[in-house]
Chain A
Amino acid sequence: MVGAVIQSGRVLYMRHCSHCHGTAGDGNGPTAQYLYPRPRDYRHGVFKFTSTNDMSKVSREDLLRVLRYGIPGTYMPSFLLMKDEELTAIVEYVRFLSMRGEFERKLVNELASDYSEEAVESRLKDEQRADIVGELAKFLAEDVPGVVDGIGAELEESWVAADSDEAKIVPSVPRVPDSEESRRRGRELYLSKTLNCADCHGIDGAGNGPQTVAFEKNPITNVPYDEPGLHDVWDNLNQPRNLHTGIFRGGRRPIDLFCRIHAGIKGSRMPSFKNTPHEDIWHIVNYVLSIPFEPEPGATGVASAPAAPATEAAAPAAGE
């Protein structure tokens, strides 16, 4: 039966997920208010940790991975012990909730520009209410079916594309073997003007760059946020990761970190660095993986730093 998997997914979702993620997937279930970070609101159709390109949606595989292994450092637990068909059903239901939320948001946006309370109020200054009502009736009857189909087609295309091979990030070169040289190169890139990782993550990777104390504006409403720091599309304060904790929310495999840098973290202010040469991304991955084990913050030297040769000379001596 068509939709049977979504039906069984719904039952499982209600039992295991809805108390945090909400019955509609709005990330506002009864236990959500106790959690930091907040549970994901699916209605933007945006998921942070994906193996797909920066403009692509999340793939089924990515969602399955999150369900299986959880998200360390957050309240999302692992559901490893559930059966594969149960997990698949939940994935389908989460995709359904995301598409539904996205569909409704887009439809509302479509109407909001001309017929929201605010818009109508401003239009009433030089238009008659009856005209607006008539126009709306005409819009609903003639244009909305087309709009609905358009949004549907757009959603279908993007969600189907997310599972295709083209959407998946595949590095063009294998991981550069981890070495001191590679880490140093990664550190240089990390501090470089072009990538500018330190602007958010801080010079030593402690997640305390200058951006974390700047005041941001909400990009949609243009209203400044109350508190300083970076915000995500869900309007939550979402400060850059402290790279010293050794906790990698999106996974600790080199490919996971590669995807985080290549595609960025969707919905957050972590941008995509897809134009960076893949070899350079691997250098940064090697550096980032080594940060938790640095003897002291910022210990990885760079070529231009005067302290670097001394550390380099001291390290092999200690090893021997």
Chain B
Amino acid sequence: MKKFWALFFWFWPLVALYVCLIAPGNNWWFPSKPLSTMGHQIDGLFYLILIIVTVTFVGTEFALGYALWMGATKEPGRRAWFSHGSHKLEVVWTIVPAFVLVFISLTQLDVLADIRVLARFPESVKEAPVAEVMARQFEWRIRYPKPGTELMTSPQPGDLYFVNEVHVPATVPTMINLRTQDVQHAFFVPRLRVKQDAVPGLIIPVWFEIEEAGEYELLCAELCGWGHYKMKARIIADSPEGVSAYLTRLEREQNEDGVQEAETASVK
């Protein structure tokens, strides 16, 4: 029975390793490969931490199993060795994790700065958000500037509005202004690895460069109320020409006066 516990603690790290190995093949892993430029670096950081944690977990479990195994198989009469109060051990297990943590925090600084610090955003997007994404309970309201003008922080005449669908250009850096009308929400696009809280009173710039045109799911990742689960939208990444065609269409729709349709039909 004593040996059982040693085997028990050796068994779990093996299971964990096995699960890690088969996870990608079973679709238990990330929703897709990262599809934004920053996504690769974010995944890189994730894997770095995953490796450090796995080595630590497996190592700790094996050490635990080893201690139990030695206890279980000790000859009668052999006295235990007490490590409690060992200054050397204390120093080692303080300094080693401290180095690991400092290493992680220094390694991620660049990526964090690229995501969060406006001064490090790509030059082309710094001054030119394509849209304002306003989170509210329980939907995403989008405001685009009138085609040919810049997005202002307050609504302007001619601004275009839509809900739960954001059209942005693919393959070029893009920035949106994230806001919330009521409580905290979070702008989360899993396939782009973009996640940013929306905080009441703040206008938060978020940038990304989508690598492939297509449809991306946008979710709220901050429990915002009873309808949190409803807060789903889509991001449609299109060529820049596609986006401007969409905005032209949206502008026409938003200026509909109910008679234009009949008129254009008769002109044709």
Contacts and interface: CB of A to CB of B under 8 A. Distances in A.
Given A174-B263, A290-B157, A293-B157, A77 B139 contact: yes
Nearest to B233: A81
A253 B260 contact: no
A110 B69 CA distance: 87
Interface of A: 16, 19, 31, 34, 51, 69-70, 72, 75, 77-78, 80-81, 169-175, 246, 252-255, 258-259, 282, 289-290, 292-293
Contacts of B137: 75, 77
Contact of B226 (A31, A69, A174, A282): A31
Nearest to A259: B258
A118 B164 CA distance: 51
Contacts of A253: 253-257
A253 B234 CA distance: 23
B126 interface: no
A292 B155 contact: yes
B163 interface: yes
B233 A70 contact: no
Contacts of A290: 157
Contacts of B255: 175, 253-254
Contacts of A31: 226
Contacts of B138: 77
A81 B139 contact: no
Contact of B163 (A69, A259, A282, A293): A69
A77 B141 contact: no
B164 A171 contact: no
The number of chain B residues touching the other chain, given as a range, is: 20 to 34
Contact of A70 (B163, B234, B262): B163
Contacts, number: 68
Given A19-B226, A171-B259, A173-B259, 4 more contacts: A16-B230, A34-B226, A255-B258, A259-B258
29 contacts: A16-B230, A19-B226, A31-B226, A69-B163, A70-B139, A72-B141, A75-B137, A77-B139, A77-B227, A78-B163, A78-B164, A80-B165, A81-B233, A170-B259, A170-B262, A172-B259, A174-B259, A174-B260, A175-B257, A252-B161, A253-B253, A253-B254, A253-B257, A254-B255, A254-B258, A255-B256, A255-B257, A258-B258, A293-B156
Nearest to B217: A81
B248 to A, nearest CB: 16
B141 A254 contact: no
Nearest to A19: B226
Nearest to A292: B155
Interface in B241-264: 253-260, 262-263
Contacts of A77: 137-139, 227, 230-231
B232 interface: yes
Contacts of B139: 70, 77-78
B254 A252 contact: yes
A255 B252 CA distance: 12
B56 to A, nearest CB: 41
A107 B254 CA distance: 42
A183 to B, nearest CB: 11
Looking at A78, A169, A282, A290, the one whose CB has the most chain B CB atoms below 10 A away is A78
Interface in B135-162: 137-139, 141, 155-157, 161
Contacts of A70: 139, 163
A80 B230 CA distance: 11
